[in-house]
Chain A
Amino acid sequence: MNIRHIAEKAGVSVATVSRVLNHPENVAEKTRAKIEQIMKEEEYTPNWFARGLNFNKTGTIGVMIPQVLNQVYMEMAKGVEDVAHQKGYISFMCNAEEDVEKERRYLELLIHRRVDGLVLLCSCLEEQDFKLAEEAGVPVVLVGGCKYNPGLNLVSVNFQESEKKATDHLIHIGYRRIALLYGNASGVENEEKIQGYKKALLQAQHRVEERYLMQVENSIEGGYLGAKKLVEMKQPPEAILTTSDMIAFGVMEAIKDQEKRIPEDIAVVGFDNVRMSNLVEPKLTTVDIPLHKMGIYGARLLFDMIESEEQEEPKTILLQTKMKIRKSCGHKDRIGEMF
């Protein structure tokens, strides 16, 4: 059963049936109802792939996820998918495993499959990769800290200011020896967080001690190993800041394994506010990043481009971050304020 059969059966032209499919508002109510009824009876569905060729649209988008096991990216990806679903699109979710070569290969594959647009979460891709997308006419939106972003649509937060807020908070409580365990994920984001940490220390006229600044794998294991080293130091830090909640969970485990107490012996502060941060004991003080909202805005900017007739100026949307003060930082004074 194809469009010609439907047209014959309804006694109308193929063009009319086509209009019912693509611009139903331009077809008289009665005719439209009749044709739709026949399509239903004949169980006719249009060939979406062929449709894609005609309209240059496939109803699909690509979503690049750096690491599918990381809750941060799960929340973001859900935000993207929520909007895509509402728009009637299917999302191809690709797990790049924080490997730039794998990400690059997925990018090529997605472009070859003629996706209508791409949302890249915390991408490691470089300038020439984006040229490829541009030449293919595939709109791209970046979400989160990406390696390369000039001239592209971007949804993010101010990472530097956010990590500074967390450091300020610890300084304000009275800690002097504050360590930062930062992850190995895509360059800029951690770079900004380290800057925020240093800025807060310098502003408070504390010294930045290199031995308290340590890179670890962005995972629970990475946090565990890093914290173990810190705790075993002759003069261990009074507080450990991290660039992700995942690292912080590892830190907490290491501190407990060393038979120290959180926050009495060592305070811990995370970053991201993933769901689990509210479930660990003690509950983790962290910086709330609006992950789902970032995904939502990534998709919104993408669909604005897909649906727009004209070329629009690239937009940057920066969202607010907030300190989530819980028990792990050892601060009681401000807990009550935080509604």
Chain B
Amino acid sequence: MLDTIFLGLKMKTPVMVAAGPWSKDGKAIRRALEAGAGAVITESIISDIRPDMRPNMAYDGSGVQNIHLYSDIQIEGWEREMEIAKRGDGIVIASVSGHTPSELAYLASKMEKFGADGIEVSVSNPMGENLEVIASNPQVVSEITKEVVSNVKIPVMVKLSQNTTNISQVAKAVKQAGGWGVSAINSIRCILGVDTETCRPTLATYGGYSGPPIRPLGLASVATLAQSVDLPVCGIGGVETYRHVLEYIMLGASAVQVGSALLVHGSERITEIVAGLEQWAEEKGIRSVEEIRGKALNHLKSFDEMIIEPAISTARGGICTGVCQKCIEACVYNAIQKLNGEIKVNRELCTGCGFCTFICPEKKLNLEW
């Protein structure tokens, strides 16, 4: 078992289900918990429900755009949904979304009363907002966090946005206001594409972008937060396999949320991720998240700290049976040639950038010195 303690909550696995339509009501939350999730976050609950545009979700083969406007169940209805969600074991965290401290504190205290184990304050949704989401203003985030924390006894984390100048400052505001943790990142303001025949954008308005393309952004945010703020971090963004979970943990996350993958690959994906992680941990003899948390941060250096090795691209064995010319086409320094199937790297021209080692499908190239 790869257990973890996040926000003071003991979870059997660090894999959680993110706020979204896959946790829209008590039944859906129950299903996700039974599928193995360490905790489930409810779809974001708002003060007054708004009807959704149709369509409100789109996919381009790699990322998802949504303009879906939060839970369609009023706070009163969540009493019943929470009763269903809590009909067995499992941690349920309530996501509440709003604009003012008193509004969010009200929603949070209601959800606490209905049995939520924790609160995720979502002030970073890009849908229906102006260019600046609330989470880009540390002062406002601080006021909101303070009000919510002082009105509930359960742990409170704040969901942060990549759409902000300095995410670390916002997280510090959360900590200073008494927040228990942060989660990052929310979906990113986007337009998925334009149909060039009809001149129409894929969806009718700006929405939130999620899925694998935002994972590198999520990883960078989580690493920054883990390095600069003394608060537990929950990683979010493009998690599709257990390896992605490990990436977030190794960059400092205590837990990880899975969202869009459940939409694209189906709800059983959560079971696969949890099982994959379990197996990996067992093979490595690792029993808790803390043993591996932040391990990759040790290798994350600033430019000042780096020692430059004079490595250049080197072909393993020289002979390449592939018909592709990818390494040759990709080398902006014209350092690679292929003669009679043999890869030759010009040692004078190669700058050691390393791009060819990633582009080669056969993994023939390596940086060595």
Contact = CB atoms under 8 A, between A and B. Distances in A.
Contacts of B75: 300
Interface in A265-314: 290, 292-293, 296-297, 300
B102 A317 contact: yes
A319 B103 contact: yes
A172 interface: no
Given A86-B76, A337-B130, A316 B48 contact: no
Interface in A125-157: none
Q: Is the interface of B mostly helix, strand, loop or mixed?
A: loop
B145 to A, nearest CB: 16
B325 interface: no
A339 B74 contact: no
Contacts of B100: 317-320
A19 interface: no
Nearest to B206: A339
A53 interface: no
A297 B130 contact: no
Contacts of A292: 48
Interface residues of A, number: 20
A79 interface: yes
A304 to B, nearest CB: 9
Interface string A218-233: 0000000000000000
Interface string B65-101: 0000000001110000000000000000000001111
B206 A290 contact: no
Contacts of A339: 128-130, 205-206
Contact of B76 (A83, A290, A293, A338): A83
A254 to B, nearest CB: 32
A88 to B, nearest CB: 11
Contact of A315 (B74, B98, B106, B206): B106
Contact of A296 (B48, B129, B130, B131): B48
Contacts of A256: none
Contact of A300 (B98, B101, B106, B206): B106
A8 to B, nearest CB: 35
Contacts of B99: 319-320
Interface in B102-128: 102-103, 106, 128
Given A320-B100, A338-B130, A296 B206 contact: no
Contacts of B206: 339
Interface residues of B, number: 18
Most A C-beta atoms less than 10 A away, residue of B99, B102, B130: B102
Contacts of A297: 47, 103, 106
A318 B102 contact: yes
A89 to B, nearest CB: 12
Contacts of B130: 322, 337-339
Nearest to A323: B130
A293 B48 contact: yes
A296 B47 contact: yes
A192 B267 CA distance: 52
B102 A290 contact: no
A51 B103 CA distance: 35
A225 to B, nearest CB: 36
Contacts of A320: 98-100, 103
A333 B212 CA distance: 35
Interface in A76-103: 79, 83, 86-87
A298 to B, nearest CB: 12
B195 to A, nearest CB: 19
Nearest to B128: A339
Nearest to A316: B102
Contacts of B76: 83, 86-87, 300
B47 A86 contact: no
A293 B47 contact: yes
B128 A86 contact: no
B295 to A, nearest CB: 41
Contacts of A318: 100-103
A300 B101 CA distance: 17
A317 B48 contact: no
Given A86-B76, A337-B131, A315 B47 contact: no
B44 to A, nearest CB: 16
Given A290-B48, A296-B47, A315 B205 contact: no
Contact of A79 (B48, B98, B103, B131): B48
Interface string B198-210: 0000000110000
A79 B74 CA distance: 12
Interface in A317-334: 317-320, 322
B65 to A, nearest CB: 14
Contacts of A87: 76
Nearest to A338: B130
A316 B131 CA distance: 29
Contacts of B106: 297, 300, 315, 317
Nearest to B113: A304
B103 A317 contact: yes
B201 to A, nearest CB: 12
A290 B99 CA distance: 11
Contacts of B205: 339
A259 to B, nearest CB: 36
A297 B103 CA distance: 9
A3 to B, nearest CB: 29
Contacts of A317: 100, 102-103, 106
Contacts of A337: 130-131
Nearest to A296: B48
Contacts of A338: 130
B356 to A, nearest CB: 43
20 contacts: A83-B76, A86-B74, A290-B48, A292-B48, A297-B47, A297-B106, A300-B75, A300-B76, A300-B106, A317-B100, A317-B103, A317-B106, A318-B101, A318-B102, A319-B47, A319-B99, A319-B100, A319-B103, A322-B130, A339-B130
Q: Across the A-B interface, give the 4 residue pairs with the lowest CB-CB distance, nearest first.
A: A320-B99, A317-B102, A293-B48, A339-B206
Interface of B: 47-48, 74-76, 98-103, 106, 128-131, 205-206
Given A83-B76, A290-B48, A339-B128, 17 more contacts: A86-B76, A87-B76, A290-B47, A292-B48, A293-B47, A296-B74, A297-B47, A297-B106, A317-B102, A317-B103, A318-B103, A319-B47, A319-B99, A319-B102, A319-B103, A339-B129, A339-B205
